[in-house]
Amino acid sequence: MNHDFKQFHLQPFIIRAIEKIGFRQPTEIQQKMIPLILQGHSAIGQSQTGTGKTHAYLLPIVHSIKPEQKHVQAVITVPTRELADQIYQEILNILQYDETESITAKRFIGGTDKQRDVGRLKEQPHIIVGTPGRIHDLIRENALYVHKANMLVVDEADLMLDMGFLHDVDQVAARMPEDLQMLVFSATIPEKIKPFLKKYMENPKFEQVNPENITAENIEHILVPLKSREKVELIHDMLQSYNPYLAIVFVNTKQMADIVADQLIERGLKVGRLHGDISPRERKRMMKQIRQLDFQYIVATDLAARGIDIQGVSHIINYELPKDLDFYIHRAGRTARAGNKGIAVTLYQPSDEDALVKLEKMGISFSYLDFEQGSWVETPDRNRRKKRLKTASEEEKKATQLVRKPKQIKPGYKKKMQKQREQIMRREKKVKQRKK
């Protein structure tokens, strides 16, 4: 089977665009989804961030547009303004190789002048990309007409659900034709989203990509014990030591993002911030500054873990573990992109043990370091005692379980406990030998 994009028989200008972008061969999700979309199937593509989902739908959508039909043919909904910007730029990157300039696309997002958007819709574009709320508003204003559009994309569907945008997506879909081709892309498919999918998708094709490694192989996952240290001070010292190309410090709330950013700025670092309470104008300015490398450090909520592609991130620092552990994967996925190496560091406390165990069960392998007096030092694995017991013989395990630490500790108690364990082990071995 061919492994380049020519196997899909896409229009020549799309192949030229792919070559200029630098794609060599389709990713697994592209290999699975592009043929289904070209055949007109409604489909669900489930895969982690960074697997090429965007072009899995953009390439077949652009290919399928009929330029002579001057109406909206495809609507792409995304949960964040930044993601809408990125996807719109990707569409333009493809369309610039269309010498006929016959396919049109427009982007509509919240936080911008709605009347200006209405004016931009005097001529309806072939492709719409934007946030669900603004797209729904423009439809209600009778400015945007989607009644003939036969393709709807719901990108980052689980994040749409989390952010409460599914109602607007539902309202947009309700205005579209009955034979709608719906394309849903998501890292996870929560139970709460299934009624929505069932409402609009009859026997959809489903493709899931399970990467061999849950995060990229070239990410080093490091655990650093907090102990009794001041957290921001430790983060500051670690960042200074790493001197990263670009580092994102992840926190769980908007309030904590401001607190951590302010405290790092007080310590002399030039820090950008990304969270939901920043005004649209400020967010746009912040993203421009980040792309210009005006900041070496960014403090962000999980808004930046999904739906924003920040180039050149070398280090991820988890100030705190996310409540939804899937977001650990998304956070780590901001680094080690395009074959580069990356580091994901997590500060942890004993109260994080359950979450760390779950992450290990998900396939994350941690190494253990500490930052002491300006130097990185290796520290023991927090599971070393459990691992030692696992490798111990059955007699040793039983002896360890039976010999308890005395309530009143007296000098030499450890030697007495060891002697008791040895006696039990000898007894157990004799019992075993008699059975043989």
Dihedral sign for Cα atoms in the order 294, 299, 305, 306: negative
Are residues 374 and 237 in contact, defined by beta-carbon separation less than 8 angstroms? Answer: yes
Closest CA to 304 of 368, 246, 353, 354: 246
The continuous run of DSSP H or E covering 233 comes out as: helix 231-242
The continuous run of DSSP H or E covering 395 comes out as: helix 394-402
Cα(84)–Cα(281) distance, integer angstroms: 15
User: Can you read off the two tokens belonging to residue 14?
Assistant: 């799309």
Domain ranges of the chain: 5-208, 219-384, 392-435
DSSP 166-223: HHHHHHHHHTS-TT-EEEEEES---GGGHHHHHHH-SS-EEEE---SSSS-TTEEEEE
- 219-384 CATH fold: Rossmann fold (3.40.50)
Predicted pLDDT of residue 389: 46
Dihedral sign for Cα atoms in the order 304, 306, 310, 315: positive
Cα(424)–Cα(396) distance, integer angstroms: 9
Residue with tokens 């026997």: 203
Predicted pLDDT of residue 432: 74
pLDDT one digit per residue (tens) for the chain, 436 residues: 345 899 999 999 999 999 988 888 898 999 999 999 999 999 999 987 667 889 999 999 999 999 999 999 999 999 988 889 889 999 999 999 999 999 999 999 988 899 999 999 999 999 999 999 999 999 999 999 999 999 999 999 988 988 889 999 999 999 999 999 999 999 888 888 999 999 999 889 999 987 655 666 789 999 999 999 999 999 999 999 999 999 999 999 999 999 999 999 999 999 999 987 888 788 888 988 988 889 999 999 987 666 667 888 999 999 999 887 878 888 898 888 766 789 999 999 999 999 999 898 888 999 999 999 899 999 988 876 555 544 556 667 667 777 777 766 666 667 777 878 788 878 877 777 776 5
Predicted pLDDT of residue 2: 41
The continuous run of DSSP H or E covering 159 comes out as: helix 157-162
The continuous run of DSSP H or E covering 360 comes out as: helix 353-361
- 5-208 CATH fold: Rossmann fold (3.40.50)
For residue 159, how many other CB atoms are within 10 A of its CB?
Answer: 23
Type of residue found at 199: K
Examine domains 5-208 and 219-384 and report if their fold is the same. Answer: yes
Q: Mark 177-186 as b/e (b = at least 16 C-beta within 10 Å).
A: eeebbbbbbb
pTM, rounded to two decimals: 0.67
Are residues 183 and 37 in contact, defined by beta-carbon separation less than 8 angstroms? Answer: yes
